[in-house]
Structure 1
Amino acid sequence: MARTSIATVAIGAILVSGLLGANAAQAAQINAFLIPEHDEGYAKFMGLKFIQIKYPQGSDVANVFDGVNQKIEFTVPLTAEQLQQVNRALLESNSPMQLANANVTYSGTIRGSHDTLTLAYRTELDALVSGYVLNRSDNSTETILVDSNWRGFVIEGPVIVDAEQHGQVNVNEPIGLLQAAFPEFAQKLMDANSETKAIMTEPILDFGDIGRMPLERWHILFDPTISQASVKGVINTDIGRAKVLSVYSLGECSIREGCPEPREADSTASIDGSDLRVHISTPQPNAQIEIAGYTTLETKPENGDLEVIGVNLDQQGTVGPPLFTMQVLLILGGMMGAVAIIVLYKARK
């Protein structure tokens, strides 16, 4: 029994520290704050990829990239057409969620040496969201049903934005960075072979790995103090009648889930008489979803296996604090009692 209590405390501490560190830019990442009572919220979707291209020293390709250190970085609002493209991708993932007032922040880095070209990409979408509530209720005792399929959407194809000083930039495919900075070489890569083209057109805004991880395997924390809310000042933080914040976290390693896996792919290409090796890597996914209200995992029969989150504003159906909170309080109480006994024992000696 003592071993179980100590293990529970340790796991709880790891879980909380993981949640506090979830904002680190480690991977394809989602940070979202949802207020189901108002069917509104804020979400940040970030895609991150790295490409390494190896070429022979002294080759024509080496002569182009040796010593290059270039960065393209900007933030622009999405146009109505681009916003429609994103919302269409959400609908294709069987989610009713829609984005509005969205900005895209893009950062692409090109670094070359005598034998290696390194490309790094980060594309972020920041947006107000709505439409994810599946039923409407004015009664705080009724369960609000919330869609969760949006967390796995993928934007296929180029997303081309107008960036001041950089012209038109494709922010959703790795080839876009080279098309903006080295268009001739970019075209040669695209013409090389199908495997290389597939790598260079792989979507950056791809959250499929996050969507494929069942919510029951995410870490869940109930925060009655609302201290975990990470978007204060971004949207109206009035969470209405909700008395607790539910925090879903993905990305920490654990005994049960292990560690989310990164994705990698390789190809070869012959350009200007040189054999190139192309390697792409996508780090493991990371996500934190905060929902105003006490949540349970449910499934609507008409949705088949699609996951639906039930939200109660006043924790109806529960007695006292959520189970996780009760466990922590009881364990801490037991620890304090044990400390008190030790102190009294030592005082009497």
Structure 2
Amino acid sequence: MKYFIFVMMTVVASGFVPHAFAAQLDAAILSGEESTEPSFQFLRVIYIEYPEGGEIAESLRGERKEVSFTADSSTPGINEFVMKLNQNLQSIPSNAIVSDAKIDYQAILQGNQDYAVIEYKVQLIPTITNHVVVKEFEKSTVDAN
């Protein structure tokens, strides 16, 4: 129940306070391999200011909470997620196929004297096949959609 409240507070707070977010893509795509596993990382930082004090300030000041989990093909919902990724790839159109996916999630709440910081990171690592379009002697063309 504590984690549910923490996650809900993150979602509610993200709509009312200034925040920063970023996305990072790292991929080593080898043209000789049948599959590749690129890494997509998404980071969001939310600041909650409470200079006047109050109930939120009292409950967050000095607190540090962390929630993390990993989801893979054995986790309910991941197979449907992979199916949605493939539907998006087909609509581009792309010949690449996502055969599996792993998701790492981490959220940290740090309460300070006059503000709190909520930072959450999602990392998606799909297994992609059929990503090499043209294979020649020393060059290959990779589907980068």
TM over 0.5: yes
Question: Highest Rg: 1 or 2?
Answer: 1
1:46 counterpart = 2:53: no
**Residue in structure 2 matched with residue 116 of structure 1 by the alignment:** 115
SS in 1 for 2:85: helix
2:72 corresponds to: 77
Gap change, CA 1:46 and 1:92, over 3 Å in 2: farther
Structure 2 residue 54 is the aligned partner of structure 1 residue 55:
no
- Which residue is 1:28 aligned to? 23
**RMSD of the alignment, in Å?**
2.5
Alignment of 1:119-134 (within 5 A): 119-134=118-133
SS in 2 for 1:81: helix
Counterpart Cα distance in 2 of 1:46 and 1:110: 19
1:123 and 1:70 mapped to 2: Cα distance? 17
Aligned partner of 2:24: which letter? Q
SS at match of 1:74: strand
Paired residue for 1:146? 142
Tell me if the contact between 1:58 and 1:114 (Cα under 8 Å) persists in the aligned partners.
Answer: no
**How far off its partner does 1:123 sit?**
0.9
CA positional deviation for 1:75: 1.4
Instruction: Map 1:148-297 onto structure 2 (within 5 A).
Output: 148-149=144-145
Q: 1:61 and 1:129, CA in 2 relative to 1: closer, same or farther beyond 3 A? A: same
Q: Distance in 1 between matches of 2:99 and 2:143?
A: 17
Task: Report which structure shows greater RCO (CA 8 Å, sep ≥6).
Answer: 2
Q: Which residue of 2 aligns with 1:65?
A: 60
Q: TM-score, normalised by structure 1?
A: 0.31
Cα deviation digits, residues 76-107 of structure 1 (max 9, x gap): 21421122233334445544323223211111
User: 1:40-88: CA deviations, max 9, x gaps?
Assistant: 2221111112111112332222123222210001212142112223333
Q: For residue 162 of structure 1, what is the aligned residue in structure 2?
A: none
Q: Secondary structure of the equivalent of 1:58?
A: coil
Q: Give the helix-richer structure, 1 or 2.
A: 1
* CA distance in structure 2 between the aligned counterparts of 1:92 and 1:65, rounded to whole angstroms: 45
Q: Contact (CA 8 Å) 1:71, 1:107: kept in 2 or not? A: yes
Bigger strand fraction: 2
Q: Distance in 1 between matches of 2:81 and 2:144?
A: 23
Match of 1:285 in 2: none
Percent identity, aligned pairs only, is: 25
In structure 1, the partner of 2:106 is 107
Q: What is the identity, as a one-letter code, of the residue corresponding to 1:75?
A: T
CA distance in 1, matches of 2:88, 2:114: 38
Q: How many aligned residue pairs are there?
A: 120
Gap regions ≥5 residues in structure 1 = 1-26, 150-349
CA distance in 1, matches of 2:131, 2:24: 19
Q: CA deviation at 1:28?
A: 2.2
User: What SS does the corresponding residue of 2:62 show, helix, strand or coil?
Assistant: coil
Residues 13-47 of structure 1 show CA distances to partners (whole Å, capped at 9, x for unaligned) of xxxxxxxxxxxxxx522222223344422211111
TM-score by length of 2: 0.67
* Partner Cα distance (1:63, 1:42) in 2: 44
Per the alignment, residue 97 of structure 2 pairs with 98
